[in-house]
Each structure stands twice: as structure tokens, then as C-alpha cells.
Amino acid sequence: MASSLTKASAGNPGAEKTFFGHPRGLATLFMTEMWERFSFYGMRALLVLYLVAGGPDAKTGSQGGGLAMDMATATAIYSVYLAMVYLLAMPGGWFGDRVWGPRKTVAVAAGVIMTGHLALAIPGQAAFFVGLALVAAGSGLLKANISTMVGHLYDGPQDPRRDGGFTVFYIGINVGAFAAPLVIGTVGQNVNWHLGFALAAAGMALGLIQFLIGTRHLSPKSSEIPKPLSAQERNSTLFKGLAWLIVATVFYGIVTFTGHFTIKWALLPITLLGLLIPVAVLVRIKRDKELTQTEQTKVSGYIWFFAAAAVFWMIYDQGGSTMSFFGENKTAGSVFGFDFPSTWFQSVNPLWVMALAPVIAWGWLALNRKGKEPSTTRKFAMGLWLVGASFIVFVIPMAMAGDGTKVTPMWLVTIYMIQTVGELCLSPVGLSVTTKMAPAKYASQMTGVWFLAVTAGDCITGLLGLAGVDLNGAAVVGAQGVLAVIAGLGVWFSRKRIEALMGDVR
């Protein structure tokens, strides 16, 4: 998308420059997020393929030089990585609120992400895991704070330009996500894996440079620390952090020196934490005695949406693992005589989002004018049915490819389309209902709680991979699809009970 600037008023030559009628700072944040998503989705497109390259599950004749892992381990690493990105969004928001302020946190985050991609560009397993950890940490730091800064550009929640500004910002996300597999994926998969990771680092570097240049256009509020840590809180936080670091170091030191360390020793504790922390956070909020009875009731209703979202993301996020693996090994890599690498399939979802989001948004408004717009619970049920249907449909091409036949790419294009419609039914609505049902005490934290649903869903997939479950088998794929459909039915038949718990929220 072109980042052209227009005047606020054609009849006023001295008017402040704007970005499509929005504050000029939106251009800075748009481009920062676009380049960050470019680096993130480019690396994501390569991740699973790089992990299995040179191993028993790699495509015959494909580029070697990867980590030669089996697909189950690769899926577990991929799932845990995504889970950590969303889990770390909560402490990322905390750093912005209590330590550095949003602007400094985003600048640091971009540098951490760039460093992580550079580490991935260095051959070797040690550099790979260091790089992956840095990218996850940086993405978590950036995710919550850059959205906060978009909000700072406007004169409060009632500013009529605010929703449109977030829509423009959302376009930047999808432009970056669409372009990344076409550029980074092609170079990494066809030329050299590490050159692809280096391109991801270059993308983030461009994002960081233009962010630093454009910070003068951001709101002064973005540099403020809303609630700085007191000296006592800072010392307590450092002490707790060091204590946990010492515990982890001692534990893994013992495991390593006794010769028992394997990759599962690293992945399993993280995966379990990714499941336990979301549960612990919800329990802590639910048991808070400072909440009013109405707030307690709404939290009970919100748990339904949280659990449903976890099931949804468990399937949806396999677009970069199970579906990526199928695209590489079981799908024809050509259309009308034009050959393309399998990483290009990762561009299909953002393309569908950009094509379908305006249509679905218009559809909801049209139904609303007629008094027929589905409620939040119905939209959640629809999202679960659609993501479940996508995996049930997925069983068909898997069966067709069972004898070694390469299926047409249109199968994956269709499956991604079904998932995208499901995403547009559930994801925006889920974020909205999260803010509406949040207790006043936790108003600023609930967005992070919503991201924990993604963490929980990805950790379920990670545990299945660590347990050796063949997530690329038709039986398991079909079972997951049926599970999502059943979950959707559960939400549908419980909708009156859930809506009663929601109180005045719809």
C-alpha cells in the first residue's frame, strides 16, 4: 500500500500533513508494523521447512542445510514459538506501562527482533534457538505497545477517526504478511535458508530506521510511563527475576550434566507453562474479591469465549505447520504452467483477509440495519464451525494424496478461505467483547488476556507434537475438525446461558 501523504485541507496550504486523513504519526506506525510483520511472517513461512530440511520428513530433492528434525518435533517447536509470542505480549505491555513507556519499548523491541533474525541467519542449532527466543521476546514487547501508540494519536475513544485509523493500521499488518512469503520465502526456500532469515532482519531494520526517523510525529503520550515502578517494586521485580533465572539455570545444569537433556526438556516445561499461565490469570481475575457481582458474572461469561478461542487458534495456527507441510510435500507447485515455491501458500490467508474483511464488515452492517446481525455468541459458533469445517474438508485432499498424487493448489486456497471467514467472524468480535466485558480493575490488561487464548491453543498443539501425535495424518486432522464443530455446537446451544452472564454486553 502506498504511504502517500495528503493535506488535511486542500484550501489551507498551511494545514498539517496527514496520512489518508489521519494523524501523520499513523504513517510511522503503519510502516513499522508492516515491516515487523514482513519479517515475522517471512521467518514463519520458512520455520517448519527449515527445521525438517535434510531430515527424514523433508521433501525429496528439496534444499538441505536445515536442522533435519522430524515433523512432530518441528510442529512442537513452531507451536511453542507462536505461543510464546502471544504469552510475552502481557509482560511486553507491562514494560510499556511500568518501565520504558510505549515508544522506547517499541524501539527496543524492534532491535531485539532484528538481532534475533540475524542470529537465525547464522548456521547452527544453538544460534537458531537463541534467534527464535529473541524474535519471540521482541514480538511480545512490540505487539501490545505499538497498538497503544495508535490510540495515542487520537483525541480519546470518541474521536471519529479512531476506528478508521486502526483499520488503516490493520491493512499494514496484512500487506507485510502478504509480501513476506513471496520475498523471504522464495529466497530462503530456493536459494539459502539463512539468506532468507537475513532478509527478515533487513526488513525489521528498515522498520526500525523509519520508526526512529518518524517518532517526532507521534503523540508525546507515547513517551510517557503511565505508572512507573517505585524503587521498592523495581527491586522486588529484579529479585524475583533473578531467583527464577537461578532456579532454571540450576535445574537445566543438572539435567545437562547428567546426560538427560533433550529438546523435549526445553519444550515441555514451556508448553505446560503456556497452558497453566492462562488458567492462572483467569482464576486470579475470577477470584478477585474487589470485583462487583456484575463483573464476576461477566468474567464467568468471558471464560466461555476464551475456551472457544483456544480451540479455534489450535487449528488456525497450523496454517504454518500442518498445512505448510502438506503444501510442500503433497501439493502441486504450479498453476497454469507457472511454478512457485510452497512458501507462497502463506500469502493466501492475508490476501483473503484483505479481500473479505470489507465484504464481511459491510455484511454485518447490512444485517444490523435490518435487526438481523448475529450476536457475539452466534458469531463465535460460526467461527468454530468454519475452522472445524476447514479441517474436515482438508481430509479430502489428504486422502487424494495418499498414493503419492500431488493435489491441485486450489484445495489449500479453499481451506485458507474457509479459515479466513471463520477468523473474521471470531477474532475481531473476540477482541471487542474482551474490552466490553473487562472488569474496571483489569481494563488495561484484558487485551493481553485475549492473546493468552492463542497461547493456550498453540500449546495444545505443541503438547500433541511432543507426545508424538501425527498431526499430519488425516485421522487427527479430521478429529480436530470435528472437535471444533462440537465446540461450536456447545456455544450455540449454550448461547442463552452465556448471554445471561454477559449482562448488558452484546
pLDDT number for residue 444: 65
Selection from 372, 394, 385 nearest residue 490 by Cα: 385
Joined grid coordinates for residue 212? 526512529
CB 79 within 8 A of CB 233: no
> pLDDT digits over 352-408, tens only?
999 998 899 899 889 989 999 899 999 999 999 999 999 999 999 999 998 889 999
Task: Please compute Rg for the chain using Cα positions.
Answer: 23
Cα distances (angstroms) measured from residue 52 to each of 131, 321, 415, 434: 17, 11, 24, 38
Phi, psi (deg, nearest 5) at residue 14: -90, 5
Q: Is residue 322 within 8 Å of 47, Cβ to Cβ?
A: no
- Please tell me the pTM assigned to this model: 0.89
Mean pLDDT along residues 335-342? 90
Q: How confident is the model at residue 13 (pLDDT cuts 50, 70, 90)?
A: very low
Task: Write out the three cell numbers for 96.
Answer: 510499556
Sorted by sequence, the CB contacts under 8 Å of residue 309 that are 6+ apart come out as 380, 426, 430, 450, 453, 454, 457
Adjacent-strand bridge partners of 407: 331
Is the predicted pLDDT of residue 211 greater than 50, yes or no?
yes
Domains and their CATH numbers in the chain: 19-223 (1.20.1250.20), 266-506 (1.20.1250.20)
Average pLDDT over residues 71-92: 91
Which of 99-103, 252-256, 343-347, 365-369 bottoms out in mean pLDDT, i.e. has the lowest?
A: 252-256
CB 137 within 8 A of CB 120: no
pLDDT in tens, 145-172: 898 888 889 887 667 787 678 778 888 8
pLDDT tens, 294-319?
999 999 999 999 999 999 999 999 99
- Which has more confidence, 177 or 249? 177
Q: Does residue 54 register a pLDDT over 90?
A: yes
In Å, how far from its chain's centre is CA 187?
23
Using CA atoms of 112, 117, 118, 122 in order, give the dihedral in degrees to the nearest 10. Answer: 140
